[in-house]
Amino acid sequence: MKIEYAKEAVKQGSTSLGLKSDRNVVLVSLKKSPHDLASHQEKIFDIDDHMGIAIAGLTADARYLCKFMRSECLNYWYTHDSHHPTERLVNKIAKKAQVKTSHPGKRPFGVGLLVGSVDETGTHLFETCPSGNYYEYIAMAIGARSQSAKTYLEKNYELFASLGWEELAKHGLRALKASAQETELTEHNVSVGFVGADQKFRLLTAEELRSYLAEINDSMEIA
Amino acid sequence: MISGQPRTHTQVPVNIGTSVMGLRYKDGIMLAADTAVAYGSMKKTKHAQRMAAISSDTAIACSGEMSDFQELLKIFREKHDGDVIENDGALFLKPTDYFNYLSRVQYQRRMKGDPLWNGSIIGGVRQDSGDVFLGMVDLYGTKVEGNFLLTGLAAHYCQVLMQNSWRADLTEAEARAIIEDCMKVMFYRDKKASDEIQITTITKDQGVKIHDPYRIQGEWNFQFFHDKTNEFWRPIRIYNN
């Protein structure tokens, strides 16, 4: 039962989505602000040069897992002088999550992660779940009202394979716009992170975001 | 071991293999070692293998303490098995991963004050990208990469020989000739070396291939040796008696 509530916590969190091509992975998140005077809560974190995560759910749990992933990547780098394989790291998170489901006195993680990464076996987009399951996708959206974003992604995912990160990011923003409904997307409440085969993970700057948002707003109005 | 005292017998080498060599050539990597293991100055066995495959594209050759070499092989076996057991579509451990891992293991053991007393050369050719790697790790964990590498006494005797004859486009036969040349020098100069040598090649096409050991031919029939032994030294010994 606890797991059902934990999954509910993921659904309460604002939308995060990810999509990938052959050479790039892009993560997009809608950030919430608890109050007009407060800043927006960050939802995309970089883990290592080759990996980043987008979250939906309890930020505190996400930060705990983020710290864990960062230290695992550093340890792997120290011992092997190479990047941590993606699925093996996701597997470690799943193991941690599973333990929390089967002990009385423990609660499951109230957070879902989208892990975007590039490794020896190509680009990857994983979703982790409080239950200890994990899934791999070409494109996925999690969090509140993510269904509209999923619908957009389902309609367009066949185009993604050959795209560069700029085009992927635009698709991501359009998908997020579908979920955001009346909320206007600005450089303050949107985060975009991306990683490529020859591009380290980084977040888009506010200026870059503003120009992409302007571009998709124009094209959406025409359509 | 003295009762009540710390264990110290693992801190000195006992059964020792002498120098190993590694070099890059046109198709990949060639590792070489002789097959002798010495116990003090005695050649305890003359038919030991001092090289092994770590994975399908990585191999190691070790000089120094042979029981520590076996320990290293055990560590690598576990590492490789762990990589296979994950069964997630690829083997992620490449020659460079094993190399760096070896360096960390060696450094950790050295800091424990109980080093694995080896000079190791790791060579590999990645099956996917064809990247060629040759590296050497000593008993302190120091990493060295190069086109040709030598451990032990060979690092002193054969350095210049290698420097003068190494080229990036060596054929397998030419590389083997250089190795045999160096091994001959070691056999003449190093009392722990033997004339039975073994070669491992790592190439993109064939992966790791450990060749059978064979003997190199030394030349001892110099007039110099006859003269010194029979006419110069013997009279002195007779004189002393």
pLDDT in tens, A97-136: 999 999 999 999 999 999 999 999 999 999 999 999 999 9
Q: Do B90 and A88 touch (CB under 8 A)?
A: no
Are B86 and A88 an interchain contact pair (Cβ–Cβ within 8 Å)? yes
Judge whether A70 and A55 are in contact, CB under 8 Å: no
Average pLDDT estimate for A142-148: 95
Q: State whether A119 and B97 contact (CB < 8 Å).
A: no
Hey, where are the domains in chain B? 15-240
Q: Which residues from chain A sit within 8 angstroms of residue B93, using beta carbons?
A: 80
Residue B73 is classified by DSSP as H
Catalytic residues of B: 10
Do residue B90 and residue A121 have CB atoms under 8 angstroms apart?
Answer: yes
Nearest-Cα distance to chain A for B108, in Å, is 11
pLDDT one-digit tens code per residue, B155-178: 999 999 999 999 999 999 999 999
ipTM exceeds 0.95, yes or no: no
Alpha carbon A44 to chain centroid, angstroms: 6
Mean pLDDT to the nearest integer, A59-70: 97
Chain A interface mutation, best of B55, B92, B102, highest count of A Cβ atoms under 10 Å:
B92
Q: With an 8 Å Cβ cutoff, is B127 touching chain A?
A: no
Q: Is the pLDDT confidence value at B192 over 80?
A: yes
For chain A, what are the domain ranges? 2-31+40-218
- B100 lies within 8 A of chain A by CB: yes
Q: Which residue among B88, B99, B101 places its CB closest to the CB of A87?
A: B88
CB A87 within 8 A of CB B88: yes
Tens digit of each residue's pLDDT (9 = 90 or more) over A22-48: 999 999 999 998 888 999 999 999 999
Whether residue A81 and residue B89 make contact (CB cut-off 8 A), yes or no, is: no
pTM (two decimals): 0.92
- CATH superfamily name and code, A2-31+40-218: Aminohydrolase, N-terminal nucleophile (Ntn) domain (3.60.20.10)
Q: Which amino acid makes up residue A129?
A: C
Beta strands per DSSP E along B28-81 = 28-34, 37-39, 42-45, 51-55, 58-65
pLDDT of residue A222: 52
3-state secondary structure of A138: coil
8 A C-beta contact, residue A206 and residue A176: no
DSSP-derived 3-state class of residue B98: helix
User: Minimal Cα–Cα distance from B71 to chain A, Å?
Assistant: 18
Residue B97: which of A82, A87, A88 has the nearest Cβ? Answer: A82
- Cα(B72)–Cα(A198) distance, rounded to whole angstroms? 35
The CATH architecture that domain B15-240 belongs to is 4-Layer Sandwich (3.60)
